[in-house]
Amino acid sequence: MKSLPALVLAVLSATLPLSAETALPVSIAPADPLLVYSGRRDDTKPGEVRLGYSGARVRVAFEGTALGVKLESAKPNFVNVFVDGKRTEKIRIEGPEKSYEVATGLAPGAHTVEIVKATEGMVGPVIFRGFELSEGAKAVAWPNPETRKIEFVGDSITCGYGIEVNDPKLHFSPDTENFSDTYASLAAKALQADYLVVARSGIGMLRNYNGPVDGSPDNMPAIYGRVLFHEAQPAWDFKRFVPDVVCINLGTNDFSTKGPNLEKYASNYITFVSLLIGRYPDARVVLLMGPMYNGEPLRNILNQVAETVNKDHPGKVSVFELSKQGGHGLGADYHPSQAQGKINGAELAGYLSKLMGWSLAEEK
């Protein structure tokens, strides 16, 4: 078995949990109205919020010099930490609730921290139980909240499967998955947009990876209404996030191995897009051709779906093709690399900028 790169191992051990004796004294509960959440989440149980799908996040703005976060996960999970907008570390979360000090030695004044789920819903949820601040510190309103909103519906490419390694012979591991390096995360950042992700590795619009040609019972339309991937309940309240645009990146798994029943695939896609427009009547829908598979059968069906749905909803649906991978390294199991994620993220940001009339953030 090949070992992970030294950089990955170093990141995994970068943040150690605080003991009860060293926990920071000021607590911020998960239900505090000053906290800002993105993505689907289960907050039905008092005192905790379960973050399931890739990229689900919680943000806090505060005045203080240090901040800790209380997290729990039944299985090995990972979150990214952003301090004052800059990504600082990736933390391994496993076992009962622990407090992790993620910002320390900050200058007095206002700061921001984001906790972003790096791993996908198939790995299981991360349970968030609040923040802890240094003595005399306090939470404040989040500065400049986003007004643009994007929903991403996808598979392993959107999850960031194996994106942290450059070895296609390595297989899946939560250690090397990272949503924050994907085209979806980078496009949303470039557009200064809030986002919501519904994605899992191996899923299809009709047929999951190597599944029956006529369809898998747990394909995307079947699980789309869930808050958490593994659980049928609670159902997601679609009023909690109303996107301006929905980007669908599905098809790689449908066309894997022997491929799908093309007629049923097209029918499922048309029905799903029509459902989305019913949920979000003011939103645009973009059908993406992903970097792992861009065969003519999929391209033809995407154009067919757009043409069919646009007959009843003129101008609502468009097709955009991300450039194919191959020249910029490969991640685990031949998935997109970090370099490919940057290229596809920039491509999608440019396309959505023109489609939606949104300006791009200036690079710093």
Mean pLDDT in the chain? 93
Asked if the structure places residue 188 within a domain, the reply is yes
- 293, part of any domain: yes
pLDDT at 22: 53
pLDDT at 363: 60
Q: What is the mean pLDDT of residues 211-223?
A: 97
pTM of the predicted model, to two decimals? 0.93
- On the question of pLDDT at 198 being above 80, the answer is yes
What beta strand segments (E) does the chain contain? 17-18, 26-28, 36-38, 41-42, 49-51, 57-63, 67-83, 86-103, 110-117, 126-133, 138-140, 148-154, 193-199, 226-228, 231-235, 245-249, 284-289, 317-321
Rounded alpha-carbon distances, angstroms, from residue 270 to 236, 262, 267, 307, 349: 22, 12, 5, 10, 25
Q: Is residue 363 part of a domain?
A: no
Instruction: Determine what percent of the chain is predicted with pLDDT higher than 90.
Output: 90
> What is the CATH number for 94?
2.60.120.260
Please report the pLDDT score of residue 52 as a whole number. 95
9: pLDDT strictly greater than 80: no
- In this predicted structure, what is the pLDDT of residue 15? 53
For 68, the domain range is 14-140
| 136-163: average pLDDT | 97
Q: Residue 14 above 70 pLDDT? A: no
* Residues in Cβ contact with 37 at an 8 Å cutoff, skipping those fewer than 6 apart: 49, 56, 57, 58, 59
pLDDT for 18 beyond 70: no
Question: In the numeric block, which tokens belong to residue 224?
Answer: 């789309």
Q: What is the pLDDT of residue 7?
A: 40
Number of domains in the chain: 2
Token pair for residue 357? 């009339």
Do the domain assignments include residue 5? no
**CATH code at position 291:** 3.40.50.1110
Closest CA to 282 of 237, 311, 246, 318: 246
Give the pair of three-digit tokens for residue 161: 């499967």
Residue 68 predicted with pLDDT over 60: yes
Domain boundary residue, one of 113, 140, 167 = 140
Q: Which residue has the higher pLDDT, 16 or 90?
A: 90
CB 162 within 8 A of CB 333: yes
Domain co-membership, 42 together with 170 = no
Q: What is the pLDDT of residue 362?
A: 75
Contact assessment for residue 348 and residue 190, using Cβ atoms and an 8 Å cutoff: no
Residue 125 and residue 38 share a domain: yes
Could you report the per-residue pLDDT of 123-146, keeping only the tens digit for each? 999 999 999 998 899 999 999 999
What pLDDT does residue 272 have? 98
